[in-house]
Structure 1
């Protein structure tokens, strides 16, 4: 698929065919493409929990559940045959930038204007998402509920230094309802793109 076509077709898919697993070779390709993402100082302070076994996926969704009455948002998402949880590790970046070629030996987080460990992990997840689209699959990137992060980490034995940035669900499209949020439409280019100086909407 041409890159322009991948971008045109890209959207968040929330309904999957539960009877069509993602072939192992595609799972491997999706993950490997994610590892080609850029990272500050080539730190690569990320890890990815790949869940394909039904028991593992069931554990993942149950670790996020609040109560049987409030989990409607999980119903269609949980049919995805592949879940990839993207995790960042801040300590890898702090240590990498304390090395001689960077020189932040004080390891002070104030050097970092934004959390690049999370940004880079998000880049990797996006490459996985686009790879899925290119292979004719649907996918959706979701955040984990803040109050359920520790439950998730305990369920899968995730070390304390890792933070789940989000999870990518992947599979062949099933009964997928378009999100009501799409009714908002894309913001006009003139409102969000500024050339040379910041311009207010409608400013000449």
Structure 2
């Protein structure tokens, strides 16, 4: 598929078939994610891959999705056979930029007006989403509720110096009928590009 078609087709998919995802495809997603730009070539990211029914169920339980709770969004999302959780390490960036070739020996966070540990993990996540499209799959990036980050960490042994940026469901796409009662689909804005002056 041509790159422009991958970009055009990329959308958040919220309902999946029960067909398994080829592990080789998941490996390609992760290989592509690791090619994302990253400040100082820090590579301060990690990816938790959950691809067994038990691990996927534990993910939903640990992030607050009570198995007895039903709503259109959650019921659809829980059909994904794979969940990838991109994580980032602020410490890795502070350590990297304290090395001699960078020279910021004080490790001060104030030197980072933009926290690139979040930005870089976001770019890596986008490559997972684009690879899913290129492989004929669906995917959706969404956040882990703040009040459930600690239980997520405990469930999967995530170290304290790594923070989840969100999570990505991956699977074979089904037609998305949308959540009942949801507003009409929003159109893409065309007033976001400014040339030369705002």
TM range (shorter): over 0.9
How far apart in 2 are the matches of 1:66 and 1:171?
Answer: 19
User: Is the 1:47–1:86 contact (alpha carbons within 8 Å) kept by the matching residues of 2?
Assistant: yes
Q: RMSD of the alignment, in Å? A: 1.5
Q: Residue 155 of structure 1 aligns to a residue in which SS?
A: helix
Off by >4 Å, runs of 4+ in structure 1: 66-71, 179-182
Q: Residue 192 of structure 1 aligns to a residue in which SS?
A: coil
TM-score w.r.t. structure 1 length?
A: 0.91
1:163 and 2:163 aligned: yes
CA positional deviation for 1:127: 0.3
CA positional deviation for 1:69: 6.3
1:105 and 2:121 aligned: no
Q: Residue 165 of structure 2 aligns to a residue in which SS?
A: strand
What is the count of residue pairs matched by the alignment? 195
How far apart in 2 are the matches of 1:22 and 1:39?
Answer: 28
User: Is the 2:61–2:67 contact (alpha carbons within 8 Å) kept by the matching residues of 1?
Assistant: no
- 1:150 is aligned to 150
- 1:30 is aligned to 29
Q: Report which of the two has the higher share of helix.
A: 1
Q: Which runs of 5+ in 2 are unaligned?
A: none
How far apart in 2 are the matches of 1:120 and 1:182?
Answer: 32
Per-residue CA deviation, residues 104-129 of structure 1 (Å, 9 max, x unaligned), is 11110000011100110010010011
Q: Which runs of 5+ in 1 are unaligned?
A: 199-204
